[in-house]
Structure 1
């Protein structure tokens, strides 16, 4: 018998359709905005889907699901860090449906002793009474032992007990197999041993760039000496270092800050905050502010910070705010907050290491939550109703189609057609058209060919026509659409051209109608947001189609097709990562660590490699 678990006020189907498959944490809230449950997942989409299956749910889970009104997610770099974040959130928020988690003392750490001639690293669990440094926490003992094994093979720092170390007279088996440098019998100088300790600490703190440079230099030295086997071993070590580096993003340092990220799309902005206290993420919150006067994300952030932090916050005021965009009025905001709270605070967007990782987590969570909001059925319904009113349509359109053209200086032109209904994008109905037989760069001819091919086939197969057809362009493109529809005898479709307007900024679009009249809609109108969403999706679909066609025709390395990446930078990329596959797997931060690759260029390289 099926369980009646699906809540009436939460659109779980649309939410799950747009949910990421990355690891992370999900927080469930009731209709009053109170936290119900916090969970972690290796694959967010697969895990959250289990709560909405038609049968087999325990009674307690059924009660939970019936009360869900909204779900917010925070994407984590790994499942392990998602587990630690889940632990922190449960301790801070005490959700009623969560079981009380273990105490901090039960989490394992890596311990580095201090005050000794030859410090040791070891597994640690329990109270932190010994003199030294503790790195962690780790999600389980297996993660600690895996890291210790890697450190042992890479740096050779001793891990034996002090009693064993003090009573050795000859090297042990670990020295013989290359997993210890033998400090107990002076097989390594104190200077070299402490250099190994420093490198171990840098690894555990996530400061690996210096290590990569040193290993790369050693690899080159081995290659020049024709010691290719040794060079291959060092190359594998570089790859292993990238794969197993234990950057503790969820917990690092002793920072007290709020990481505030803003993302916007189709006229809607989303702000996501991570609350970090004593180096630990204690919670997160999602906001959808409405600001008619804001022109960009920085303006939205400025207004939000002024509203939220001047006069105090619900949480203790942190020492710093790190923002995803540089604010034009940073100094004024800092002064205003200090006058109202009598506490100095720092605002910055220029951050590195673990602070940059926290900000990246907030950005990714903001993107995901905004995507879920935009595709929510209730939101879409409001947008369709607003669009009907704004365009003075007799009936609400059931289906909207939009066309766009993409090419590079006339090369490999591709036209896109995207389809939306009242449930959102209908991706199975999307179509691309490779445009041939026209003068390169003639967008009018390309649009005419795409429309003719699309609606000739629709008529031939007796498929339903859309009620509204959007054309990305002004009077010229709309005139082509009118011509094609006239030739095909189609007169039941409302045609609207979407021109960018004089400023060419989102929110200032000009709508062009068949009778020649033009209309602008207020930037905060949900109907305009729907038009922007459909238009942007057509643009994205056309660009990815064009890039795929262009790259396929060139039949060259994917790196050769990226502007600004010449032979020298290609060599440096391949040399830094050890191969093309490692370059493909690298994120923006990793790419930016290559000497000749700036952050902006790293973003362009990443975008080009993952455009599909």
Structure 2
């Protein structure tokens, strides 16, 4: 830290504001906002950071500049603008939505209505942007069906119309336009349509319905039934469109909803605009984290950024947790129960579904990035010192106390490495003793790893609760590996995660990727162990019946089992049947053996 930075840290005010970090070349590295500049900026230099990117940032800070403002909200607005303007390396890059279309009501006599991706500050009205283009097209199609709005770009000034500068076009003749260019439609009547359209775009349908009902009634009273039927068809189309809107609550009128789901590297943020009880706009996007941004910090930024980009100005904002920021003329609410809580849950569901979709796409397009995300998330979720790139899982199998075995499975980067699987026949334990078996197998596995100079795993997963974990740790301690390798246990009933010396288990979200990887390791060790245990029991069963017969070797036993399938059928076979398979001499030995065995049992 140079003297200039030290002096700046000592003289910072305890007021809201924005701070900017520069490197020695004068490049802007990072822009941040603070409720208290002195406390926030000094925190970067007064503690050790877990994030490597944050440590590099602090190391490269050569100069600090600050801008004082009146409130934390003003600081957030200024931060948002500076990030968009300068795009600092260590900031999340906020989008400007140039890729999303808007619906424009042009500022002109007889306004046109069209979609555009270019927002021009000429007094025109812009609605959107629409992340779902199909929704926008359906809306524009509805407007075209309901109202006769011009599509031409003529300058319909009073002078041009009076001078008959323009002629009606095909749109007039097919009924899509009422011909304001030749004064066939008054400006007042045209603007009534625009007012109704504006309300439909905003999600307010009552005025548009009343407009159509009045028009239909007027035609009917004048006995113009064909025209009345055309208006009725339009009214039915409007009602049908409204019915397709997602109704969340008829009692909630005008609300903006924000929620967030995040993992180690990315945040997924959703907003929904609710008007007259229905969702009229929804948008979800992924933000890549750059430093140690909290969900609270990201959601505050999203509220400011989305409100600016999507023209959100509802007086109430629903969020899933408390925020420190206060927004002028807008009330932030954290719903706990009822319909409001249901809306927050719906928004959160959108973030989770979007996250799963992104993960699936990433897994296909960029499998390395997918793996890195999972490993990073597991390190955080399980509080590990390193990413668990190499996991070894253990499970014991000793059904009815016979032929006990223990399975060791190996996972590399979250995937099974079957060539590294190992099976251990238990040697020192008599009877079904899970704890003693685990202690023996862990000791045998890692004493050999140490003796052969192989790499230790990043994580050892024990199938079982406190007892099995404690037994495994006995061997870990005997080998002097405590602190050199992480060891945890996973219990089957509630999927509790147990840690050495901690009486309270960790419970992971049932949908988390971390838990899914651990379950895969546990289930694979169980499957592998059960398969080998059954094979061993079968082999031992055959050995007790056939391998003890004098003069009968492994090849003879194999031929017999290939033809007769079971030991019982071999016992009941006639001498002639056995002779046809293995010859008379060995057939007589087998018949004599089983005959003596039966006599011994009778005696």
What's the TM-score once normalised by structure 2's chain length? 0.31
What's the TM-score once normalised by structure 1's chain length? 0.31
Bigger Cα Rg = 2
